[in-house]
Chain A
Amino acid sequence: MLPALLAIVLVMAFPLLYLLFMSVHKWSMVGYEPPSFVGSSNFVALINDRRFIESLARTLYFTALGLLSNIPLGFAIALLLAENFPTRNVLRALLILPMVATPVAMGLVWVVMLDPSLGVVRYLLGLVGLDSPPLWLSDTAWVVPTLVAVDAWMWTPMVALICMAGLAALPAEPFEAAMVDGASVWQRFWYITLPLMMPTLVVAAMLRLMDLLKVIDIVYVMTGGGPGHASETINLYNYLVALAYDKVGYGASVALVLFALVLASTIILARLRGGQS
């Protein structure tokens, strides 16, 4: 028991405490001055840091768009694949392909595909009469929805897989009873499938929520946070501040805010799940 506790403290608590320690220091890797204690001033500075506030708001927007697209779409795919039809197994195999590829490689592939001069997306849209599509990654209004779409392409299959497992575990009796009572397909979905699936959907939302709040890989690869800072998420800002701008202490305070945000959101969803079950 004690060794396990010790391992948990070392692995989980120590990095967090060290992060806290760094966040109350002015800390630079370039060695002209040693770390100096600055108290809460890094956190106070965050309030006046417009780039931080904007990246925080953008991350919440990114997360909201991500959840609103991933969960309904993943659930719909799971419902579709729960039906029996000839190519079901092939589709299930194809479904997981985007998920197993590395996000960096997929991000680069999408950059090429979305290029307005050389990309295939413009060509395909041209075939159906859309000759002037948006400048996906160069337009400040479109860049976040475009990144969310690429993220959804990669991770909706995971939501679908979770939902498929949830659907397979549902008891048959309520559905049989509803059929005997003459309930329609829509009524069976609304009054039986959806409520019974709610705990599963909350778990899927919780997992996606944590990933979406921390998103950095596809943003870094596809836009680097640009144009300007129009797609800079809080995790990317954190990386830039701490490692590129060499403000390790300030970066630690950004990281702590992100940690608190992820923790709070997860607790809320976990409570929601408790309520559901």
Chain B
Amino acid sequence: MSTTYTRRQTLAVIAGATAMLPQRASAAGFDWKRYSGTQLRFMVSTHPWTDWAQKQLPGLVEATGIKVSWEILYEDQFRQKLPLTLRSDPGAVDGFFTLPSWDAAAFARAKWYQPLDQIIRSDLTSPDWDFSDFFPNILKIHSVGNEQIGIPITIELQTLFFNKSMLQAKRVAAPKTLDDMVVAAKALDDRKNGVAGYVTRGDGVQAVYTIAPFLFAFGGRWLNEKGEPEIGDKPFVNALKFYGEILRAAGPPNIVGMQWKSTYPLFQQGRAAMFTDATNFLAYFKDPKQSKIVDEVGVAPLPAGPSGSHSTVISWGPAIAASSKKKEATWYAIQYLTSKVMSAASTEVTHLPPARQSVYTSDVFVKSVPADMIEATRQGIPNAVPNGANPLVVQVPEVRSAIGTAIVAVLQGGDAEKAANDAQKQVLQILKG
């Protein structure tokens, strides 16, 4: 990935952030040392941002006097240990990393999130921090019932990747509609030479994420206002039919069961002409050490269906544990790590689309990713469905498994209507408990 910043400049940005925060704040009368000497514990999962944040902790101590124990766990382990700790030892964890599309329903019901609106509006927040700088649609990801429960870090949008030279060779343009996409995928499919026209996830549980934009493009939604599933409805049946048809006709032969760790290498190695998944995958395609298509990657917004183009958008971010006895100091730590300056510094290192508009439009981000990616995400963000990756319910993994069974059935040639109805019944059963 090309960038205009050198390593030395990056370090200078981070060092500058550390030095500038207290100075700016003191100019505005904000006392960053108010909770000096406090010891906090954060539990987070592995993520480029949490790795970066861990390296900023000495700067945090210098700026605020707050010491943080930063416990990084693999995601599976994190998903088991965090609920266990929050439940069995209230107060043991002050801050944690959260992915609301997965956690929000369960954590909100368990009352584990500290509501943040009052804190954000209070004198505990530096005037420089600027809450209004975050993309409004991205803030919604970290809100439950209009109450902010976490601070978004990055934007994980789904988009269309395509291999420019493959499309040029077949004189196919990047598809703008779902109908175009089917035609393009079939035209680009070259099974004899081991090239798929289109690839995305075929593993049931994982594919719930990648089928979601097609559900929205057909005018559907996961749940109605009462929280009841709409998986048996026409839009999901249409999404299933589309997913099944395009992948059976132009997907790799082993599409059934393919997880993202198997799909992106196909596109990366020039074995697939089109690929839809999270924008994060760009880094893998632009890495000359592992990619054969560094100069061939094109990015476009997801093709539109009868109801337009609606990607999903999810976002990890830090939250305060409601059981923490040091909520104010925890907010200071989160505020420090998510300020404008620090957000720019983290973006410089992670290259992930930032949740702050000022950083998104700054040179730090704009010059570190291709122009078509900027344009695709710019178009995608306003219409994307916050937390649309799956139904927002307490039982996310089980519900994803039930919906995934329908996706696999259709990929294997099953009837979409029957699969959707079976999934609807199962999800209803799961939600009933």
A117-B194, A137-B257 known; 18 other A-B pairs, CB under 8 Å? A29-B83, A29-B84, A29-B87, A30-B394, A32-B106, A32-B110, A117-B252, A135-B254, A138-B254, A140-B412, A224-B259, A227-B204, A227-B257, A228-B404, A228-B405, A228-B409, A246-B83, A246-B397
Q: Give which listed residue, A138, A143, A240, A246, contacts B258 with CB less than 8 A.
A: A138
Residue B21 lies at the interface, judged by CB distance under 8 Å to chain A? no
Residues 245-302 of B contacting A (Cβ, < 8 Å): 252-259, 262, 265-266, 269, 271
Min CB–CB distance B192 → chain A (angstroms) = 11
Q: Which 9 A-B pairs have the closest CB atoms?
A: A227-B257, A31-B87, A138-B254, A228-B408, A227-B256, A226-B257, A245-B398, A244-B397, A138-B256
Q: A: which residues have CB within 8 A of B?
A: 29-32, 111, 115-118, 135, 137-140, 143, 223-224, 226-229, 240, 243-246
Q: Give which listed residue, A115, A135, A139, A227, contacts B262 with CB less than 8 A.
A: A115
Q: Assuming the A-B contacts A117-B271, A226-B203, A245-B398, are A30 and B256 also in contact, with contact meaning beta carbons closer than 8 angstroms in the complex?
A: no
Question: Contact: B112 with A31, CB < 8 Å?
Answer: yes
Q: Give which listed residue, B79, B110, B256, B408, contacts A31 with CB less than 8 A.
A: B110
Q: For residue A244, which residues in chain B have a CB less than 8 angstroms away from its CB?
A: 79, 397-398
Q: For residue A138, which residues in chain B have a CB less than 8 angstroms away from its CB?
A: 202, 253-258
Residue B401 lies at the interface, judged by CB distance under 8 Å to chain A? yes
By CB atoms of chain A within 10 A, which of B194, B255, B265, B401 has the most? Answer: B401
Question: Contact: B271 with A118, CB < 8 Å?
Answer: yes
Q: Give which listed residue, B110, B112, B254, contacts A116 with CB less than 8 A.
A: B254
Question: Contact: B252 with A116, CB < 8 Å?
Answer: yes
Question: Contact: A226 with B397, CB < 8 Å?
Answer: no
Q: For residue A117, which residues in chain B have a CB less than 8 angstroms away from its CB?
A: 194, 196, 252-254, 266, 271
Assembled-state Cα–Cα distance A117/B263 (Å):
11
Q: List 6 A-B contacts (CB under 8 A).
A: A138-B258, A143-B257, A227-B256, A227-B257, A227-B411, A244-B397
Residue B339 lies at the interface, judged by CB distance under 8 Å to chain A? no
Q: Give which listed residue, A135, A226, A246, contacts B408 with CB less than 8 A.
A: A226
Question: Contact: B205 with A229, CB < 8 Å?
Answer: no
Select from chain B the residue with minimum beta-carbon distance to A139: B256
Question: Contact: A30 with B408, CB < 8 Å?
Answer: no
Residue B80 lies at the interface, judged by CB distance under 8 Å to chain A? yes
Residues 48-85 of B contacting A (Cβ, < 8 Å): 79-80, 83-84
Residues 208-256 of B contacting A (Cβ, < 8 Å): 252-256
Question: Contact: B87 with A245, CB < 8 Å?
Answer: no
Assembled-state Cα–Cα distance A29/B86 (Å):
9
Question: Contact: B257 with A246, CB < 8 Å?
Answer: no
Residue B109 lies at the interface, judged by CB distance under 8 Å to chain A? yes
Assembled-state Cα–Cα distance A128/B327 (Å):
67
Q: Helix, strand, loop or mixed for chain A's interface? A: loop
Residue B395 lies at the interface, judged by CB distance under 8 Å to chain A? yes
Q: For residue A223, which residues in chain B have a CB less than 8 angstroms away from its CB?
A: 257
Assembled-state Cα–Cα distance A111/B401 (Å):
22
Q: For residue B271, which residues in chain A have a CB less than 8 angstroms away from its CB?
A: 117-118
Select from chain A the residue with minimum beta-carbon distance to B80: A243
Select from chain A the residue with minimum beta-carbon distance to B411: A227
Min CB–CB distance A61 → chain B (angstroms) = 18
Residues 375-399 of B contacting A (Cβ, < 8 Å): 394-395, 397-398
Q: Assuming the A-B contacts A118-B265, A118-B269, A240-B397, are A226 and B204 also in contact, with contact meaning beta carbons closer than 8 angstroms in the complex?
A: yes
Min CB–CB distance B259 → chain A (angstroms) = 7
Assembled-state Cα–Cα distance A245/B110 (Å):
16
Q: For residue B109, which residues in chain A have a CB less than 8 angstroms away from its CB?
A: 30, 32
Min CB–CB distance B412 → chain A (angstroms) = 7
Min CB–CB distance A48 → chain B (angstroms) = 11
Select from chain A the residue with minimum beta-carbon distance to B266: A117
Select from chain B the residue with minimum beta-carbon distance to A122: B194
Assembled-state Cα–Cα distance A240/B205 (Å):
12
Min CB–CB distance B275 → chain A (angstroms) = 14
Q: For residue B257, which residues in chain A have a CB less than 8 angstroms away from its CB?
A: 137-138, 143, 223-224, 226-227
Q: For residue A228, which residues in chain B have a CB less than 8 angstroms away from its CB?
A: 204, 256, 404-405, 408-409, 412
Q: For residue A240, which residues in chain B have a CB less than 8 angstroms away from its CB?
A: 397, 401
Q: Give which listed residue, B79, B398, B412, contacts A227 with CB less than 8 A.
A: B412
Min CB–CB distance B250 → chain A (angstroms) = 14
Select from chain B the residue with minimum beta-carbon distance to A228: B408
Assembled-state Cα–Cα distance A140/B411 (Å):
12
By CB atoms of chain B within 10 A, which of A223, A228, A243, A246 has the most? Answer: A228
Q: For residue A227, which residues in chain B have a CB less than 8 angstroms away from its CB?
A: 202-204, 256-257, 408, 411-412
Select from chain B the residue with minimum beta-carbon distance to A138: B254
Q: Assuming the A-B contacts A117-B266, A117-B271, A228-B409, are A30 and B106 also in contact, with contact meaning beta carbons closer than 8 angstroms in the complex?
A: yes
Assembled-state Cα–Cα distance A43/B340 (Å):
55
Assembled-state Cα–Cα distance A118/B270 (Å):
11
Residues 184-206 of B contacting A (Cβ, < 8 Å): 194, 196, 202-205
Min CB–CB distance A114 → chain B (angstroms) = 9
Assembled-state Cα–Cα distance A31/B323 (Å):
12
Min CB–CB distance B191 → chain A (angstroms) = 10
